[in-house]
Amino acid sequence: MEEMKSSALERGMSRRSLLKWAGLATVGSAALGATGCVGFNEKTPISDTGDVDENPGEWIPCSCWVDCGSKGFNKALVKNGEVVRLGTDKSHEDSPDCPQLRGCARGRSLRGMIFGADRIKYPMKRKNWQPGGGEAAHGELRGRDEWERISWDEALDLIAGEIERILDTYGNEGILLPGGVPQRMGDVEIGRLMYIKGGCLEQTGAVSSGAWTEMAKLIGMPEEQNDRMDMRSSDVIVLWASNPAWSRAGLPNYQYLQCRDAGVKFICVDPFYTPTARALTDDYIPIRPGTDSAMLLGMAYVLISQDDPSTNPLIDWDFLERCTIGFDADHMPEGADPKDNYKDYVLGTYDGVPKTPEWASEICGTPAKDIERLAVLLGSTERASVIMSSAPARTGSGAELCQNLMTFGAMAGLIGKPGCCCASDGGHAGFQGLSYSLLKGGQQHAHLRRETFGCPIEWINNPLENRKVNVNQMWTSIVDDRNYVGLDGNIYENKVHMIYDRQENFLNQGPATMKGIEAYRMMDTVVAQNLVMTTTCKYADIVLPVTSPWERYGDVTKGMRESLLWFSQVVDPLFECKSDAEIAAELADRIGVDRQVLQPKTEKQMVIDLVAAAQVIKEDGTDFENLVSITEDDLATLGVEGTPQEGRIPILDFKREGIYSLERSEGDKYTSVALKSFRDDPEANPRKTASGKLEIYCQAAVDKVHAFGFKEIAPSPRYVPPVEGYEETFSNWDEKIKGDYPFQIYSLHIPRHIHSNFANVPKMREAFDHPLYMNTLDADRLGMETGETVLITSKWGQCLRPLLVTETIMPGVLAMGQGAWVEIDEETGIDKAGCMNVLCGPNVTTTGYQAWNTCICNVEKWNGEPLTPDYLWDSREVFKED
């Protein structure tokens, strides 16, 4: 096991190597080189000259920490302190039943991020900023000022001084931490420090799952899909707004291919004929963004009007009777108005508007015959599934969408049966296919599931528990009215005078980026710490260089359902970078917080504790056992405290390989079907709702939404036209006269970005473009062509993008990738990079989630200089190494 004892210094990056990397990165994308896929543990590696390499190097499992929802696996080959290539999973033979957990193009381009030219190298201060607030801050220069290099002591003294001044002057509410405070494995960073110091103002409401985060708990419908083995037994799978080929470029699409090869028919419902649709589907049905509830109501009308239990059974009456409340007037909860039942709303009994396919078609753009055809197919097929991404729940009417999807699934018999599923797929590897039923452990989403993952150090709550500002009010409450709605529904004054950004990029990734820039320029102090010069760093006053996960001891995280990953340190910290924990500890000393309270355990100890606590299901599927065995010698080798234990694999083997995958086969005992136990016996396995059932009529949702204080919601599923939805593209809906913003635009997860990660990597920019997608009919009408620069204007901002004209997107709908780092032309106020959140506004929603996919805009020809391809743009390099 001597290889396990090699120090970070021995495998770290030398100064010479570091300079070479920095030099290469400044040349351009071609210099970085491709990261090829090679096998691990090669016996006779080949050198660049083709000869056998006498120095085989060491393969180290390396983190791909970005939040794509797939969680691929990479290993780095380190030779002479340099990362010379990346490889992917070779831990077992690849097969459809037991696929290797391979890395994707984004994960393999991590070298371009970690060793790129715009890596933050030293602490920096904006030249014209001085502490104390007021005119000394020169906030108007944020984003365009010059930088000066300062020492760590000077940077930390300035930050600590400003923290103390802000606390004394404005209280703990005077400091805002965008992005929330993670405690996934006991994260030690500025958020935990501020909690100990008395709290801070946090942002809330930014969630991948959109409305599902709250609605799933209220109506009883979890974000869970069936196990992949079970999905092969489906007859039909509808992928609704789901494009894993781009958004989760790992196993999800491969697993669907196994379903297709097993004979499953795929149908795609989407505004865009996606790459996933091209690879999988037999049928494509178009739909406008934000109108999913209208289509589901039209489908429900078909089932209700055509169902005949004896000759044409389309509705699962048994499930509705036993497992739901609120479907019709005879099954309403006590005290509810019978007129609020779902069935009568669909039939138009009281409002005079039957929700027919024709009614739905006018709104969603889907032909009425396709709405009817899909409804009948799903109602009449024994094994059918609807798997929806979270995207439709990230709209202005996402809460209603959650209710409508659940209700249609209950009607059509798609819940709790083998081969049947009707749910959001959760969007993350840790949620897909009931992963918690196989492996327990890892840090991903531990802040949501402490009972499953554990937390290796004491969990600390924010003393200002209700003082969380919703993402849609974060900037407006600074720029406009200084008020926001807290978690308790009360109105609070926004007292923020200092923003502290940690490794997030929320100014870029939250709605209303232009409002955000205004808010940043109003601050006394803005601090940002990150790997690279993101948008939040660009608009800060003090920027601190942070180590990447490749430069730290490691972490443990979930892969897809059958995999647990353990990543290790690859190189020594670069330049003057420090970890988040080190920065927090240095600040703790300066503001009077005990380091031991902040970090009672070392990072290494926390990681080993998580590994030791990891469990795997037994072969008979009845219980769990320890994943790793640990001996006293192992503890000595690792240099940590612990207790020996028996487990399935030796801990040092797991550390070396970096991955444990549970082998699968047809008919094994690990297959799970979402809500099956509930369907089989709802009384013995009640949902965590007031009734214990799936609540089609949900008073708890009404009450919870009312408590949020943003908007109201009906107790039963409805169609509610969202703010900036399709209807608002018209100045006169009845006469169908278009208004100032005649297009809908929605955001895509594209191959080059994971949110804003990789947006700075030249190789990814060169390999994958970032255009505005427009239908051929719209382009012909406007006289536009592929490749020309166009100006996109919304109520909230303007962007420039090259145009891509295609027949694969609906007329009247535009799409653009999300994640580009905003580049504002200070003279015109126009973003040249195509940052989607320049266009998306801070429109408040029922439970406070973002409405990214309901946004309206206009598109015009651009009369200025055409955009230069962004892979040719200069990097945001501040200081070059001599």
How does pLDDT run across 65-78, given as a tens digit for each residue?
887 777 788 999 99
Mean pLDDT of the region 81-87: 88
Burial 307-320 (b: 16+ CB within 10 A, else e): beeeeeebbbeebb
> pLDDT (tens digit, 9 = 90+) per residue, 704-717?
999 989 999 999 99
Instruction: Tell the CATH topology of 124-208+447-546+577-598.
Output: Rossmann fold (3.40.50)
The structure tokens listed for 227 are: 């196990």
Three-class SS state of 75: strand
The 3-state DSSP class for residue 238 equals strand
- pLDDT band at residue 433 under the 50/70/90 scheme: low
525 CB-near residues (< 8 Å, 6+ apart): 129, 131, 133, 137, 159, 162, 166, 497, 498, 499, 541, 542
Q: Is the pLDDT of residue 488 over 90?
A: no
The closest alpha carbon to 753, from 248, 50, 302, belongs to: 248
Distances (CA, A) of 596 to 316, 588, 600, 606, 843: 58, 10, 5, 14, 42
| Lookup result for tokens 């308790």 | 488
Q: Which CATH superfamily is domain 212-437+673-708 in?
A: Dimethylsulfoxide Reductase, domain 2 (3.40.228.10)
Q: How many CB atoms lie within 10 A of CB 767?
A: 16
Site of tokens 């006293």: 632
d(CA 391, CA 246): 14
Task: Please state, for a pLDDT cut of 70, what percent of the chain lies above it.
Answer: 90
Phi, psi (rounded to 5 degrees) for 744: -90, 140
Q: pLDDT at position 450, please?
A: 39
Q: Which of 203-212, 287-296, 476-485, 531-540 shows the lowest per-residue confidence on average (mean pLDDT)?
A: 203-212
CA distance readout (Å), 848 to 360, 643, 711: 27, 45, 9
Looking at residues 840-850, what average pLDDT do you find? 94
What's the rounded Cα separation, in Å, for the pair 239 and 224?
A: 14
| Residue 9: φ, ψ to 5° | -65, -40
Token couple for 274? 């996606």
Strands 730-732 and 737-738 come out as: antiparallel
pLDDT at res. 459: 81
CATH code for residues 726-872: 2.40.40.20
- Please list, in sequence order, all residues whose beta carbon lies within 8 angstroms of the beta carbon of residue 224, skipping any fewer than 6 positions away: 423, 426, 431, 433, 434, 674, 675
Q: Residue 372 — pLDDT band, cuts 50, 70, 90?
A: very high
Helix/strand/coil for 853:
coil
Q: Which of the 8 DSSP states describes residue 796?
A: S
Angle between helices 357-364 and 368-380 (to 10 degrees): 120
Extended beta strands in 121-184, E state: 124-126, 147-149, 175-177
Residue 12 one-letter amino acid: G
pLDDT computed for residue 66 by the predictor:
82
Q: What is the pLDDT of residues 752-763, one digit of tens each?
A: 888 888 888 888
DSSP code string of 16-43: HHHHHHHHHHHH-HHHH-------SS-S
pLDDT at site 343? 98
Helix, coil or strand: residue 609: helix
Q: How many helices (H) and strands (E) does the chain have?
A: 33, 38
Helix axes 212-219, 398-412, angle to 10 degrees: 40
Residues 6+ apart with CB under 8 A from 481: none
Helix (H) or strand (E) holding 128: none
Q: Where in the chain is the domain with CATH 2.40.40.20?
A: 726-872
**Domain boundaries for CATH 3.40.50.740 within the chain:** 124-208+447-546+577-598
Please report which confidence band the pLDDT of residue 20 belongs to, taking 50, 70 and 90 as the band edges: very low
What's the confidence (pLDDT) of residue 435?
A: 59
Report pLDDT for 758: 87
CA distance 847 to 770: 31
| 819: pLDDT strictly greater than 90 | yes
pLDDT value at residue 424: 87
SS3 of residue 105 by DSSP = helix
DSSP string, 734-789: TTTEE-S--EEEEEE--TT-BTTBTTT-HHHHHHS---EEEEHHHHHHHT--TT-E
Please state, in angstroms and rounded to a whole number, the distance separating the CA atoms of residues 111 and 85. 9
Q: Among the listed ranges 2-6, 546-550, 736-740, 829-833, which one has the minimum average pLDDT value?
A: 2-6
Rounded to whole angstroms, the Cα distance separating 261 from 381 reads 19
| Per-residue model confidence (pLDDT) at position 7 | 33
| pLDDT recorded at residue 42 | 38
- Does residue 66 come out as left (phi exceeding 0), alpha (psi in the -120 to 50 range) or beta? beta
Rounded to whole angstroms, what are the CA distances from 253 to 259, 664, 815? 10, 18, 22
**Of 52 and 56, which is predicted with more confidence?**
56
Q: Rounded to whole angstroms, how far apart are CA atoms 456 and 595?
A: 16
Residues with Cβ < 8 Å from 716, sequence gap 6 or more? Answer: 326, 340, 341, 342, 345, 403, 696, 697, 698
Residue 274 pLDDT > 50, yes or no? yes
| Per-residue pLDDT at 38 exceeds 90 | no
Phi, psi of 876 (to 5 degrees): -85, 55
Rounded to whole angstroms, what are the CA distances from 753 to 532, 594, 691, 763, 773? 15, 39, 43, 12, 16
- Residue-wise pLDDT for 103-116, tens only, equals 888 888 888 889 98
Which three-class secondary structure state does DSSP give residue 703? helix
Contacts of 812 (CB under 8 A, 6+ apart): 288, 365, 729, 742, 743, 744, 775, 778
Q: Which of 1, 94, 105 is nearest to 40 (CA)?
A: 94
**How far does the chain reach from its first CA to its final CA, in angstroms?**
39
Let me know: does 754 contact 250? Beta carbons within 8 Å: no
Beta partners for residue 790, in sequence order: 801, 861
Q: Which pTM value belongs to this model?
A: 0.92
More confident residue, 17 or 713: 713
Q: Which amino acid is at 610?
A: L
The residue type found at 471 is V
- 830-865 burial string, b = 16+ CB within 10 Å, else e? bbbbbbbbbbbbbbbbbbbbbbbbbbbbbbeebeee
- Mean pLDDT value across the chain: 89
- 222 vs 137, which has greater pLDDT? 137
Out of 116-120, 357-361, 676-680, 810-814, least confident range: 116-120
Q: What are phi and psi of 115, to 5 degrees?
A: -110, 20
DSSP 820: P
Across the strands, what pairs with 650?
A: 629
How many C-beta atoms lie closer than 10 Å to residue 601's C-beta? Answer: 18
Which segments of the chain belong to CATH 3.40.228.10?
212-437+673-708
Of 422, 346, 388, the closest CA to residue 716 belongs to 346
